Amino acid sequence: FDQLDGHIWMNGEFVPWKDAKVHVLTHGLHYASAVFEGERAYGGEIFKLTEHTERLHESADILGFKIPYSVGEIDAACMELLHKQGFADAYVRPIAWRGSEMMGVSAQKNRINLAIAIWQWPSYFDPEQRMKGIRLDLAAYRRPDPRTAPSKSKAAGLYMICTLSKHAAEAKGYADALMLDWRGRVAEATGANVFFVKDGVIHTPTPDCFLDGITRRTVIELAGKRGYEVVERTIMPEEMEGFEQCFLTGTAAEVTPVSEVGPYSFEVGDITRTLMDDYTATVYPARAAAAE
């Protein structure tokens, strides 16, 4: 992935893609002092750009560092890079990290770096599988207690257990894994939030130890406009037996139907399909404007 063409925005400059490098003694690499965002551009506009950039700032605040660019400057850099890369539909990845000036757990004076990369990433899951509903394993790792890790930050370190869980699931032929939280409640997938449907009502876990995703909030709003009832509550894994539909939401995953979670199976039903269509209509600026 480091050999693509085009440019990466790095600390205020456009650097050729292949030259956007960091030193091996980067604090972010050794001690996970890094936070990032995942955004998507549709038809030349980045969906909820400022909300994502604000979350990037908050994620850094939670990790105790300040990104040396304002929200407005980062928004402008993302848009400038999108145009420079020449994509209408693309994935946007800003990342901020502590640099390599000092080595050791404490690195109070290390420079805070910011980079933005944009590439084409049409579908997070296999497109054919996605329409039939993807299969999820139940992860062995659990989302940590907020007293154990800064769970409200989109921090690189929190993805260690996500990669482990996703790799374990893939080794067994699953597309992804559903993670429980430290109390044994249903939490989320490794890079997306989860929803269930039963008797026309939508149920989703209360986001008290994982990201309250921007897509999650968008889909709750879209469900409201359709008149669907959405209940945010504690969901125990055994309850999946009684749910009829299941889907994931996330910037990369968008709205993705789920057909299986471990021993539990679901249909790709009407509510899931309606929300998939409504989400697509919302993210494309031209289509959203036409619908107003």
Binding region for ligand PMP (CB under 6 A): 38, 188, 191-193, 210-211, 213-216, 249-251
In the bound state with ligand PMP, the residue whose beta carbon lies nearer, of 107 and 252, is 252
The one catalytic residue among 154, 166, 198, 225: 154
Q: Cβ of residue 214: shortest distance to ligand PMP, in angstroms?
A: 4
Q: Cβ of residue 55: shortest distance to ligand PMP, in angstroms?
A: 7
Q: Cβ of residue 202: shortest distance to ligand PMP, in angstroms?
A: 16
Q: What is the CA 238 to chain-centroid distance, rounded? A: 26
Query: Which contiguous run of DSSP H or E holds residue 160?
Result: helix 160-171
Q: Cβ of residue 179: shortest distance to ligand PMP, in angstroms?
A: 8
Q: Cβ of residue 16: shortest distance to ligand PMP, in angstroms?
A: 28
In the bound state with ligand PMP, the residue whose beta carbon lies nearer, of 11 and 234, is 234
Residue 240: both structure tokens together: 């999946």
- Residue 232 and residue 275: Cα distance in Å, rounded? 17
Q: Measuring CA to CA, which residue among 223, 176, 182, 170 is closest to residue 200?
A: 223
What phi and psi values does residue 203 have, to the nearest 5 degrees?
Answer: -125, 140
- DSSP strand pairing (39-42 vs 90-98): antiparallel
In Å, what is the CA distance from 16 to each residue of 87, 93, 174, 199?
16, 16, 36, 53
In the bound state with ligand PMP, the residue whose beta carbon lies nearer, of 85 and 151, is 151
Q: Measuring CA to CA, which residue among 14, 19, 23 is closest to residue 3?
A: 19
In the bound state with ligand PMP, the residue whose beta carbon lies nearer, of 8 and 92, is 92
Strand ranges for 131-282 from DSSP E: 134-138, 176-180, 186-189, 193-198, 201-205, 229-233, 245-250, 254-261, 264-265
What own/partner pairs with CB < 8 Å and gap ≥ 24 does 60-63 have?
Answer: 60/35, 60/96, 60/112, 60/153, 62/35, 62/150, 62/152, 62/153, 62/155, 63/33, 63/35, 63/150, 63/153, 63/155
To the query of whether residue 154 is one of the catalytic residues in this protein, the response is: yes
Q: What is the CA 39 to chain-centroid distance, rounded? A: 8
Q: Is the dihedral of CA 233, 237, 241, 246 positive or negative?
A: positive
What residue has token string 């805070």? 112
In the bound state with ligand PMP, the residue whose beta carbon lies nearer, of 204 and 259, is 204
Q: Cβ of residue 181: shortest distance to ligand PMP, in angstroms?
A: 12
In the bound state with ligand PMP, the residue whose beta carbon lies nearer, of 106 and 163, is 163
Annotated active-site positions, please?
Answer: 154
